[in-house]
Amino acid sequence: MRGESATAGSETFDAAGRLAALDQQGWQIRYEDYVLRGGLWLPRKLSLANERGRLRLVLDDWRL
């Protein structure tokens, strides 16, 4: 089931075509910032929330 979900979700993309938000299975994930590493745009700041709480991630380093 890789890449598939049991319930429908919604995706939002920014002007550059990168994922900006994903709402699926009770989770709201916001991709708040991206960084260019090794020729790839990778998420740097993410906010994850559901009915039980909220988590904010800031990624300082990507190793490719």
**What proportion of the chain, given as a percentage, has pLDDT over 90?**
83
How high is the pLDDT of residue 64? 86
How high is the pLDDT of residue 3? 52
How high is the pLDDT of residue 2? 46
pTM of the model: 0.80
Q: Strands 27-37, 40-50: parallel, antiparallel or unpaired by DSSP?
A: antiparallel
pLDDT band of 1, cuts 50, 70, 90: very low
CA distance 37 to 6: 32
pLDDT in tens, 6-45: 567 899 999 999 999 999 999 999 999 999 999 999 999 9
